[in-house]
Structure 1
Amino acid sequence: MFWRPRSILQLMLIGFFTVIAPLCVAIFYTVQAFDQQALKNNRVTHELVALTRANQVLQSDLLDLERRAGQYAALGEKNLLAFFEEGHQRILAQLQQLEPLVDKERREKLGPLKDAVESLWFAIIVPGEPFDARQIQGLFDEISDLSVQFRRSSQQFVDDQLQQQTEEASQIKASLLLMVISLAVLTLLAALFFIYWINKPVRQLEKEISQLGSGDLTRKIRISGPQEMQMLGERLDWLRGQLHELDEQKLQFLRHMSHELKTPLASLREGADLMAEGIVGPLETKQLEIVSIIQQNSRELQRLIENLLDYNQVLHQQQLNLERFEVAELWQELLTTYKMTIARKSIRVSCNGEALSWVADTAKIKTVLDNLLSNAVSYCPSQGEVSISWHVADGALYCEVGNSGQQIPAAERKQIFEPFFQGKNSRSGAIKGSGIGLSVARECTNAHGGRLDLVAHDRFPVCFSLTLPSHEMTL
């Protein structure tokens, strides 16, 4: 089973140590490489210094030996022969010390030189024969030539060793550079991996919270990652379940409430309509006015109830039932609904628009236009004016509803589309608004991908603009 950390802190610590591990390896390897190179350089330097010094001493001792041989040849004293022997032994010892300081090729060149030095001794002490100065001088010339050759070869050996050290330093530098680049890439990949691993549950949590905020309460919430994030996801899913249960209870309450209110309201409207038609007998003028008031307020009450139901339906159902409708006929139908209020307040209504048809969800668009017209008529003063206009431009339908009522304060312009917000301006009529009409209208508009805004108008203090994009009907 894949291991999961218990907490984000544990995951961050693991990520931190995993990321710095390659850097620690790089530092350790670099220190070790430089330490080994420093030790080797120190050893080689000591050997080269010892070799150079031994060569210098050898050359000096050879000159001294040649001088003593000449003195012995001239004077023939025994003590001079003892000095010559001492110098001879010292030179042989120095040649013995030079052997481990050079490579095989140089050691092979030491052999003839050593043989020539030994031959010199035997030529000096030959018993019963006179001292042969020419032979001795020839041996010294041979020893001098061999010594010069060895000195030059030793110098070349020193140069080769220095060149080798330079090349090894360059190789170490290149290998360290390659290792640092590789470990840097590895560190970057490890950092990116742990950043993704740490951010993944946070992004999931943010996504799930946004999903809850959008009203999607049916999908189960699952958060992967550390155990504490999984526990947080379980608590968030518990909260989702509680909200879903409350939402179901709210919908059930609204359905019951609408049923309980619509039944007596329908009877009230039916009775008022029968009285207005004179079924129960002729009515006087004042009685007809009272009946019209009952009809108007019962219709307004029905609209408020339908707004409550529409608000919840829009939040939970975004699917559109597209059909073609006539824009002018829909406006005329809505104006007929408010004709008594318009007549009672002596409101002048102007409709400007071409005869055209549009494809949209007729029920939702009717809700939008109904709320805009209701607000315009309700907030318009007596003997005021309401203007309705529509046109098509750039493949979209534009509708504007303006009225001569009081201008909406600047502080309330951003809040008027919020649910249950009611401004300071007074609304005419016995039944006050619920504050969700414009909210329902905007939600219905957003479901079409359109816009509903409060805009400035050159004639009317209050004007709402509706923009609806075109839709294709699917068969």
Structure 2
Amino acid sequence: MLTKLTRLSIDRLSLRNLTLLGFSLVAIPLVATLLFAANKLSQLAEQSTSSIFTVAKLIRLNTDIADYLTKVERSASQFIVLNDADTKQRYLKQHRALHQVIEQAINEQPNQSISKLLTDLQQSSQTIAKLLQQVDKHDISLEDIQQLFKQLNSNKIQLKQHTNNIINQQANHIYQSSEQARANLLTSLAIIPITLIIAIVFILLITKPLKRLIDEIKQLEQGNFKAKINFSGSSEYEEIALALETMRQRLHELELQKTSFIRHISHELKTPLAAIREGTELIYDHSVGDLNPEQQEICDIIKASVSRLQTLIEDLLDFNIVLDSTSLQETKITPLAPLIDKVIAQRQLDIKRKSLSIEKNLANLSLFTNATQLSVIIENLLSNAIKFSPEQGKITICAQEINNKVTLTISDQGPGISKEITEKIFDAFYQGPQPENSQIKGSGLGLTIVKELLSRLQAAITIANGKTGASFVISFEQSTNSHVTEDLTQSQTSN
């Protein structure tokens, strides 16, 4: 219950607050991780610097003590052999330098063990110095001095070993600290997937309402004005939804008015047209008396014009089907073969008039679509194929399913369609070059109706020119509700 309330409260946040919240939840862990990593790296740098300085001092101390001990031992040995004042002064000078080095190291060295070793070294050195200053009172041999310096060198070796142990400890400490810092950094990288998940969640929270609004807009685009747009969410999205709902209501009103107008005007036109046609037929059949050639010619013109007007009204009624968005709701599973047979039967007189043959190669396919609108599409394309087919020509109707998409092709053996005409052929009231002696006159709305209806049925149409004639290829992009059986209908030919 608490989770549901939390989600509802998040959904009600404004787009700005939702964006700020998402940015904060992503940025805060990242910033905290960066600060933590920076602190660990800073500590490692300080420890490394301190250890390096300590190691450098110990190495320098060992080097200085070794150098001065070597010089002191050499000058002491020379003094025992030569016993002159210059050699003694050189020895005393080097002894004081060694004493200063040891004293300074004792004062600066925090390690007690090293300080004790340095103190022992200093005392041993002073013992030798006192002994050499009394060389006149005591009989001191070179072997005695060398023995004393051997003890002093032993103290130096102990000091070096101890300092080397400390150097190794510092090196191990730096290595362990670096490994720990590396482990901490690797651990802190785990925050990246967490922040990515947070970012994805907020992206979904922002884009999901947009997807819903896009779906509503697509419904309006397809002419579905009946479904009310109900939307709850952030204030910005609700404002957009309210504007879409207002637009939907207005479009629905206009749609009803437009459909009603076309229906009424078509009915009003057909009523007097029927009377005119009936009267013309009576005159044309000489029911009211014989006609002279001039009257007969005028009667022929009237009869052709009445037929032309009737065709235009029928096309207008078909166009009304396109504009009528309510018919889009009448979708159902529609078998293709019976529907195509019904359309062919309706145009049988025009087919026989030109002695055409119809070749069908249809799989046992069905579409989840609007049967009325699909019938209008096929009828217009078949009428176009009949119109441009030569006498005793052949019209091929083929349907197949490829990659879960149904393709319907209607081909004729006419003159084909040039590229210039192809670009304009779906424009309203456009009529290309008419075939010679054509008995079928069009209004220029047929292919416009086809294009519009296919757009609403989420299908596409393309035109392909073969060696002879043209082919209209319809591809139903969303045919997931179509099904195919393994039994295919054999090719049939009807004359």
The interval holding the TM-score normalised by the smaller chain is 0.5 to 0.7
Pairwise CA RMSD:
5.9
Q: 1:108 to 1:158 in 2, by over 3 A?
A: closer
Give the aligned partner of residue 52 of structure 2.
41
Give the aligned partner of residue 297 of structure 1.
309
Give structure 2 stretches of 5+ with no counterpart: 1-8, 84-90, 291-295, 485-495
Give the aligned partner of residue 249 of structure 1.
253
Q: Please tell me whether the aligned partners of residues 269 and 298 of structure 1 are also in contact (alpha carbons under 8 angstroms).
A: yes
Give the aligned partner of residue 41 of structure 2.
30
- Give the residue type in structure 1 aligned to 2:151: L
Q: Please tell me whether the aligned partners of residues 102 and 118 of structure 2 are also in contact (alpha carbons under 8 angstroms).
A: yes
Shift of 1:413: 1.9
Q: Is 1:422 aligned to residue 430 of structure 2? A: yes
Q: Is 1:388 aligned to residue 398 of structure 2? A: no
What does 1:157-172 correspond to in 2, within 5 Å? 157-172=162-177
Identity, % of aligned positions: 11
Instruction: Choose from 133, 157, 166 the match for 1:152.
Output: 157
Q: Tell me the distance in 1 between the aligned counterparts of 2:92 and 2:396.
A: 133
Q: 1:27 to 1:385 in 2, by over 3 A?
A: farther
Structure 2 SS opposite 1:464 = strand
**Structure 1 length-normalised TM:** 0.65
- Give the residue type in structure 1 aligned to 2:395: I
Q: Is 1:458 aligned to residue 437 of structure 2? A: no
> What per-residue deviation string (whole Å, max 9, x for no partner) do you get for residues 43-75 of structure 1?
44235434553565567668878999999xx9x
What does 1:213-362 correspond to in 2, within 5 Å? 213=218, 214-215=221-222, 218=227, 220=229, 231=236, 233-265=237-269, 267-268=271-272, 271=275, 282=287, 290=302, 294=306, 297-298=309-310, 300-313=312-325, 316-317=328-329, 319-323=331-335, 325=338, 327-336=340-349, 339=350, 348-353=354-359, 359=366, 362=371
Q: Tell me the distance in 2 between the aligned counterparts of 1:91 and 1:465.
A: 104
Q: Is 1:433 aligned to residue 443 of structure 2? A: yes
Q: Tell me the distance in 2 between the aligned counterparts of 1:254 and 1:426.
A: 32
> What per-residue deviation string (whole Å, max 9, x for no partner) do you get for residues 193-223 of structure 1?
5587469746864774475244366474869
Q: 1:265 to 1:333 in 2, by over 3 A?
A: same
**Structure 2 length-normalised TM:** 0.63
Q: 1:93 to 1:304 in 2, by over 3 A?
A: closer
- Give the residue type in structure 1 aligned to 2:159: S
**Which is worse superposed, 424-433 or 364-373?**
424-433
Structure 1 SS opposite 2:16 = coil
Q: Tell me the distance in 2 between the aligned counterparts of 1:354 and 1:102.
A: 104
Q: Tell me the distance in 1 between the aligned counterparts of 2:474 and 2:81.
A: 127
Structure 2 SS opposite 1:422 = coil
Q: Tell me the distance in 2 between the aligned counterparts of 1:397 and 1:191.
A: 43
Q: 1:315 to 1:208 in 2, by over 3 A?
A: farther
Q: Please tell me whether the aligned partners of residues 280 and 299 of structure 2 are also in contact (alpha carbons under 8 angstroms).
A: yes
Q: 1:37 to 1:303 in 2, by over 3 A?
A: same
Q: Please tell me whether the aligned partners of residues 416 and 423 of structure 1 are also in contact (alpha carbons under 8 angstroms).
A: yes
Q: Is 1:400 aligned to residue 404 of structure 2? A: no
Q: Please tell me whether the aligned partners of residues 22 and 202 of structure 2 are also in contact (alpha carbons under 8 angstroms).
A: no
Q: Tell me the distance in 1 between the aligned counterparts of 2:95 and 2:172.
A: 40
Q: 1:353 to 1:20 in 2, by over 3 A?
A: same
**Which is worse superposed, 4-13 or 152-161?**
4-13
Q: Tell me the distance in 1 between the aligned counterparts of 2:179 and 2:361.
A: 82
> What per-residue deviation string (whole Å, max 9, x for no partner) do you get for residues 164-184 of structure 1?
343344344444544555556
Q: Please tell me whether the aligned partners of residues 376 and 386 of structure 1 are also in contact (alpha carbons under 8 angstroms).
A: no
- Give the residue type in structure 2 aligned to 1:308: N
